[in-house]
Amino acid sequence: MALGALVLLATAVGGGTYAYAKTKNASNGQAAAAGVATGAGTAVTAFLVSALLPFLALAAIVGVPAAGAYFYLNKDKRKALGPGKGL
């Protein structure tokens, strides 16, 4: 991802968070802190996802069919929990 697009995305998310916080009657400092935190988190997450995208795509291409095959082949072995065995 280009640096300019990353900065634009982080700024947009941070600005949106600031505006949302202001609608909830937050102070300027609280709203600004929330905007900066979410903007920085968005930038870091977008950078990591773009760096790891080839590996994530490969994992999805291999993992999703493998999980589907596993659940399809083991569908007869699954049964509901008995009474009192839930969360």
Q: Could you tell me the residue range of the domain that residue 17 belongs to?
A: 3-73
Separation CA 29–CA 78 (nearest Å) = 53
Question: Percent helix, strand and coil across the chain, each rounded to 5?
Answer: 75, 0, 25
Instruction: Provide the token pair at 26.
Output: 């937050």
The predicted-structure confidence for 6-54, as pLDDT tens digits, reads as follows: 999 999 999 999 999 999 999 999 999 999 999 999 999 999 999 999 9
Read off the pTM.
Answer: 0.63
Separation CA 55–CA 35 (nearest Å) = 30
Domain count, the chain: 1
Asked, for residue 45, whether it belongs to a domain, the answer is yes
CB 35 within 8 A of CB 15: yes
Asked, for residue 78, whether it belongs to a domain, the answer is no
